[in-house]
Amino acid sequence: MNSEVKSFDGQLKSAGETQPLFYEAKRIWDRRPDEQPYALLSDCESKKQNRYGVKIDLLDLSNGAAPQNRSMYINENPAVGDNPNRNKQHGFHFTADNCIGCHACEAACSEKNGNPAHISFRSVGYVEGGTYPDYKRMNISMACNHCDDPVCLKGCPTRAYTKHAEYGAVLQDPDTCFGCGYCTWVCPYNAPQLDPIQGQVSKCNMCVDRLEVGMKPACVSACLGNALNFGVIENVPENREQILTQIPGFPDPSITQPNIRFQQIKSMPNEVTRTDSMPVKYHKGEDGQFKPVVDQKKGKATHWNFKRLSSRENPLVIFTLASQAAIGAFVALFLAPWLGLSSIAAFESSAAFIPMLITLFVLQSWGLFLSTMHLGKPMRFYRGFNNLRYSPVSREGLGIAAFMAGLGGFTFFKLVNLWLEWPLVDVLAQLAGGFAVIAAMGGLWYMHKSYRIKARPFWNHWQVITTFFGTCFSLGALVLAAFLVPVALLNDGDIAGLVRVLGAMAFIGLAAEGFGLYRHARYLNTNNGEGGASHYVQCTTFGKTYALRNGLLAAGALLALVLALAPVNAIAAVSGLALLGLMTLCALVIGRALFYVLVIPTTMPGAFFWKNKGFEEHARDIGLANMPQVGVVPHLH
Amino acid sequence: MLFGRRNRKPIKILDKQVKEWKYTTCGYCSTGCSIEVGLDENGRAVGTRGVAGADVNRGKLCIKGIFEHELFEIPGRGTTPIMRDKPYLPWQSTNWDTALDKTASEIKRIQQQYGRDAFAIVSTGQIMTEEFYTLGKLTRGCIGTNNYDGNTTLCMASAVSGYTRSFGSDGPPGCYEDFEHTECMIAWGSNLPEQHPVIYWRLKEALEKRKFPLIVVDPRVTMFAQFADIHLPITPGTDVVLQNALIHVILKEGLEDRAYINAHTKGIEAVEACVKDYDPTTAARICGIDEDTIRHVARLYAKAKSAMSIWTMGINQSTHGSDGVVGINNLNLVTGNIGKPGGTSLSITGQCNAMGTREWSGCSGLPGYRKLEKPKHRAEIAKFWGIDESFFPEKRGMFMTDIFPAIETGQIKGLWLIATNPMTSMPNTPRIRKTLEKLEFLVVQDAYQDVEANQYAHMYFPAAVWAEKTGCFTNTERRVNLIRPVVKPYAESKPDFWIFTEMAKRFPNGQKIKFPETPSEAFEEMKILSKGEGRTLDISGMSHDLIEKARGIQWPYREGMEGGKGEPRLYTDGVFQTDDGKANLIPLPFIDNNEKPCDDYPFWLNSGRVVEHFHTRTRTGKIGNCNKFSPTPYMEMNPDAAAELGIEHQTYVRLVSRRGDAVVMVQLTQRVPRNMVFIPFHFHDCVNRLTLGLLDPYSRQPAFKQCSVRIEHVDQAQAAKLNAERRAF
């Protein structure tokens, strides 16, 4: 670089005279001698703790566990930054009144991080309202908020995330990530970016390399509207007067205690809308805060949209249903003798018993295999148990794996028992079976916990319990029926008793699920936020499909009840069970597919093209997405 | 470490391993940002950053500049010259010698057969000043056609014309630093945050230091309009009425600067007589701004110690574009706001070097703001180049917008397009297609072989792009800045400078005129031509090295000036470039000739820019991180109007005008009034299939922003298919 710089009074000066050089031999970041004030961190003082009572000094917060002047080893560089505030929690400040939506922040970020068009650590969307010419658009630029309570870190099963005592940065290591995308589910701000091509997540790194040499992040330094700023959290930037925690379109900060503050003084219309396809708008409440409400963008017409039931999460539809079916069938089989369900218990002596156990094992393996293949990097599947301390996904995985081990053990010992009728073998079988039952219950519980996500209000309801456990009963009963009824027919067994028990079991499952869904719908009808929006989509875009599922579920429950209570002859019972099986399978597959496609996260508003699900879908449908510069990943086959 | 983690995960942040940063100037718009391109050890361009110590951008860049290093390697670059006998035949690769020989012989053939002016040249605002000067030498001095113009006729011609009519010469008299001094600013038809975001940032910085009233005149509620203290949502095409009304109030209330008017202007009587007809009550009915607001704005502007106006295409691209510029100048002359800090008429230019072509290409005359109409100027240049004075025509020939109709009717048979894409940029695409079909010989010289105009070409010259070359750009505030070559020209592509120089050798006068070997030698020639008593466009104190050192120098920068800082303002002494040194106050009676909404075509069609794209998308349409923000054309439409017609958000509609039709995706927003739609102009086969483009009588600039359309339903599947088909990039 030229050694002379020109100051704005037009005089040529030597650079060395005006500014000292900050960097060391191996610079963490190439800080130029003439960087402008807007690009430099300038916090002099900071508060002791933030508004949530969390200490801002992170050495303090770590209770001495984190040493001072520790190197961050950015790209294995042992240099230690000279930023005097490096152990304080930092955060972005966004003056919403000023953002012009010029994309400079997003561009600077993507340029620095080398991101392809379909990935962006920072995105600008907007809300708008009013009537011409009294019209207001408010652009919102949003990246990672490096939260006090990083739900991504807690949710990640691989422990790819670290919250650092330096700057409080929540950083993610793509080399650890196996691409399950769970962090993208739990984050309310859509900060982690799952790249379906790379098969892994990456995210905002707070530009800690720039911070180490006293410079603000690239996005902030690039801002052309003087909207984005950065510094020690709870500090009011120069020329600003507010440090709000919310603006219209921003999710409830109580979910994660995000380290972002806002200024938004200019008055906004009482209602602002989103230009993207999400059926959500924001209405000003009595407290002056904007709350999400349903925006009936597509009217009230109901549709089937069967094709749209298929999503990226199809493997999870199969995984959850298969797991629940296998667990339900096995637990019933295992507990039947204790519960006095002789019609089921009798099956153990049949030649189909071991094949059935193997079938359950295969069913569970198939589900697990699909869910593993659904990972961005399936070969890293073993990392799924790395975060048992926090992640429900890790625990779910462990539970299911342990269930399979127990089931395998049980099967093995039962098989051994066929030849060696040692009491010890049977005890071992019972121990393995008991272990499988306990593991399965744990796995199921955490499977449910994995969906109780605050940033996904449609899921965050207790009906997930009734549905998941209900499915164990209903699908479990049907799996049992598939083996037990033919065997009973061949052996002249207690068909009537068996049908009564299986009918009752199916009824319990379907009724529980139905009751949960009924209460869920009631809750969604009164919930105005993203949950309500999901329900709106459920009742319109998928309205007919939704009605079909509900009808099937109700009819199935009724039929199961009839089978459980009314004395019917064998032919009627078998055909009744077959019909029940068909109806239940349809209802549950549709229901589970809906469960995944309907969820609307609390994410930030998108723009007309960028971060607009509706446009992304359209671009894929018409082939526009095949051009990489469109920034939409095409259908991956 | 927090959350009980003993082991931190390693931190990997992309390190581009930049070995060298090379200084250059952004090649998109005319803001004139200094930019550094980072090269890795293989010499590959891997990054960009704004030059922190450059006065214009102070380290900032907009989205386009941030990804500018990607444009060297994007798809569609031309690799070798290609030629064909007829546009329907397949292309054949050839070498430069053959290509240049063939082109020179075709030019000569057409000129011999149909006359010297039957071959036309339309250039650009995108190449370097030294290249413009060389092209001017080639065209004016060697080829000798008078039908030579730049695509600046589509963007800045009205500013040129208006400046010349008012001040006697082109050249924006103000600078960005005026934001730091002004006490009131009106932005006329300028969406600064979207079109020139870095200039907007300079304004924002000034406003945060010291608030002053900002008034935005725009029929759309742009972000700029939203941030204005007063937004004037004017009826399209009526700016002159508002200007006359403002002057009416100022004169009536005695708020004018009489001393300045008397000392430095002439023609106040005619203006006084004219504006009598534009009292605020009458004007309000035409321009849609209520009379109280007109009076308020007039008083605010006139009473401010210094007040300035900026404008862009909202003024220039209309049937009274030149008048609109004169109107702004009238307003500033009447209030004494020219040539003083914070008081100016500052046209915000479009292309990176629109100023360079205006100054040095000679497309509207002769180099250095010289006019063909002035015998003295013809003599000066002829002598300097060493050719016969009579070789020059005595009057400028056709404008770009007259050249195409002349092709249509057969007066012009051959055309050389240089870095311009009329297939997307000209109004009335159907007519342009029909026109280009008729050419006997079309040469397209462009960095991108997939530029749509190539569909009708007989010869294609692959040009080097931006920082593959050396040379200067002049920005909006007359700052000359330097482009250093960052990488080698792509494949067999050549700098435009080389192409012009080589072409000159194939003409008799090319043997007489000296064509310098390098751009910096050409710059030295221009310096000699820029000297002269009373000349404003004087660059004689500059050199390429000094320009780089100073990160751009404003002209005039005369021989002997020091410190790398030119004159920030023109006309500070109140002496103008007219014969008597006085500025002209010109009456502007309003003629309402626009195609306005009617029963058959009930919507105004407005067009404009989006921040992520540049011009016809030959560059930004291929850079994903720009293009993704608008990968396909769209139309802003008022939701109330849409509800009436049963049109839904994010569906396709068909627009029909008296020229043709277009299919476009609807974005419903209250940003536009109920009787207007807005479509970004960047997309091929979209808005300009509809536009009328009535010509301004002075500047011959088309009125892109005023015509009328109707909106029809269209089969969604068919429309989607068509939309995808029309997006080659």
What is the SS3 string spanning A410-433? HHHHHHHHHHCCCHHHHHHHHHHH
CA distance B244 to B588: 8
Residues of chain A numbered 551-580 and touching chain B (CB < 8 Å): none
What residue spans define the domains of chain B? 82-144+151-155+352-554, 157-347, 603-725
Place of tokens 């290591």: A173
Residues of chain A positioned with their CB less than 8 A from the CB of B23: 2
CATH second-level architecture of B82-144+151-155+352-554? 3-Layer(aba) Sandwich (3.40)
Same domain, A220 and A350: no
What is the number of other CB atoms lying within 10 angstroms of the CB of residue A470? 26
Residues of chain A positioned with their CB less than 8 A from the CB of B8: 162, 164
Averaged pLDDT in 10-residue chunks for chain A of 637 residues: 40 41 65 95 93 95 88 93 95 98 98 96 97 97 97 96 95 95 96 95 97 97 98 96 94 95 96 96 93 93 95 95 97 94 90 95 96 94 94 97 97 91 90 97 98 96 97 97 92 87 96 97 90 96 97 97 86 90 96 96 93 95 94 82
Q: Is residue A625 part of a domain?
A: no
Same domain, A193 and A88: yes
pLDDT band at B480 (very low <50, low <70, confident <90, very high): very high
Q: What residue in A sits closest to B625 (Cα-Cα)?
A: A117
Q: Which of A507, A613, A624, A500 is nearest to A558 (CA)?
A: A507
Q: Does residue B660 contact residue B689 with C-beta atoms inside 8 Å?
A: yes
pLDDT band at B2 (very low <50, low <70, confident <90, very high): low
Same domain, A25 and A39: no
What is the number of other CB atoms lying within 10 angstroms of the CB of residue B270? 14
Residues of chain A numbered 476-535 and touching chain B (CB < 8 Å): none
Same domain, A420 and A397: yes
CA distance B366 to B360: 7
CA B716 to chain A, closest CA, distance in angstroms equals 11
CA A430 to chain B, closest CA, distance in angstroms equals 38
| Average pLDDT in chain B | 96
Residues in chain B: 729
Count the domains in chain A: 3
B338-to-A243, B144, B573 alpha-carbon distances in Å: 42, 38, 10
CA A471 to chain B, closest CA, distance in angstroms equals 36
Residues of chain A numbered 266-295 and touching chain B (CB < 8 Å): 275, 277
Q: Is residue A303 part of a domain?
A: no
- Domain that residue A481 falls in: 313-379+392-598
The answer to whether A64 faces chain B, any CB pair under 8 Å, is no
Same domain, A365 and A508: yes
Residue A239, classified by CB atoms within 10 Å of its CB into exposed (0-12), middle (13-18) or buried (19+), is exposed
Q: What residue in B sits closest to A125 (Cα-Cα)?
A: B629
Q: Is residue A435 part of a domain?
A: yes
Q: What residue in B sits closest to A59 (Cα-Cα)?
A: B2
Q: Is residue A193 part of a domain?
A: yes
Question: Mind listing the pLDDT tens digit for each residue in B56-112?
Answer: 999 999 999 999 999 999 999 999 999 999 999 999 999 999 999 999 999 999 999
Q: Is residue A156 part of a domain?
A: yes
CA B334 to chain A, closest CA, distance in angstroms equals 31
Q: Please answer yes or no on whether A173 and B18 come within 8 Å at the CB atom.
A: no
Residues of chain A positioned with their CB less than 8 A from the CB of B650: 277, 608, 612, 614-615, 618
Q: What residue in B sits closest to A30 (Cα-Cα)?
A: B18
CA B63 to chain A, closest CA, distance in angstroms equals 5
CATH of the domain at A447: 1.20.1630
The answer to whether A55 faces chain B, any CB pair under 8 Å, is no
CATH of domain B157-347: 3.40.228.10
The pTM of the full predicted model, rounded to 2 decimals, is 0.95
CA A158 to chain B, closest CA, distance in angstroms equals 11
Same domain, A7 and A82: no
Same domain, A421 and A460: yes
Buried b (16+ CB within 10 A) or exposed e, B610-636: bbbbbbbbbbbbbbbbbbbbbbbbbbb
Please give the pLDDT value at position A528: 81
CA distance B657 to B680: 17
CA A618 to chain B, closest CA, distance in angstroms equals 9
Q: Please answer yes or no on whether B649 and A297 come within 8 Å at the CB atom.
A: yes
Q: What residue in B sits closest to A109 (Cα-Cα)?
A: B66
Q: What is the mean pLDDT of residues B523-538?
A: 94
Contacts of A209 (CB under 8 A, 6+ apart): A28, A29, A74, A75, B13
Q: Which of A442, A436, A482, A440 is nearest to A585 (CA)?
A: A482
Q: Please answer yes or no on whether A222 and B233 come within 8 Å at the CB atom.
A: no
Q: Please answer yes or no on whether A12 and B23 come within 8 Å at the CB atom.
A: no
Same domain, A234 and A370: no
Same domain, A338 and A408: yes
Q: Is residue A471 part of a domain?
A: yes
Helices B400-408 and B429-436 cross at an angle (nearest 10°) of: 60
Residues of chain B positioned with their CB less than 8 A from the CB of A610: 628-629
Question: Mind listing the pLDDT tens digit for each residue in A472-530?
Answer: 999 999 999 999 999 988 888 888 889 999 999 999 999 999 999 999 999 999 888 89
Q: What residue in A sits closest to B722 (Cα-Cα)?
A: A622
Q: Is residue A325 part of a domain?
A: yes
Q: Determine whether domain B603-725 maps to CATH 3.30.300.30.
A: no
Please give the pLDDT value at position B5: 65
Same domain, A173 and A55: yes
3-state secondary structure of A380: helix
Residues of chain A positioned with their CB less than 8 A from the CB of B67: 107, 111
Q: Please answer yes or no on whether B727 and A618 come within 8 Å at the CB atom.
A: no
A373-to-A332, A358, A367, B408, B683 alpha-carbon distances in Å: 29, 22, 10, 62, 41
Please give the pLDDT value at position B454: 96
Same domain, A11 and A41: no
User: Could you tell me how many CB contacts below 8 A there are between chain A and chain B?
Assistant: 266
Please give the pLDDT value at position B3: 63
Residues of chain A positioned with their CB less than 8 A from the CB of B1: 62, 65-66, 162-165
Q: What is the mean pLDDT of residues B330-343?
A: 97
Contacts of B708 (CB under 8 A, 6+ apart): B595, B596, B597, B598, B601, B602, B603, B604, B605, B657
Q: Which of B497, B482, B495, B478 is nearest to B544 (CA)?
A: B482
DSSP 8-class letter at B335: T
Q: Please answer yes or no on whether B198 and A224 come within 8 Å at the CB atom.
A: yes
Q: Is residue A16 part of a domain?
A: yes
CATH of the domain at A242: 3.30.70.20
Same domain, A44 and A19: no
Which pairing describes strands B414-418 and B441-446: parallel, antiparallel, or unpaired? Answer: parallel
Q: Please answer yes or no on whether B11 and A75 come within 8 Å at the CB atom.
A: yes
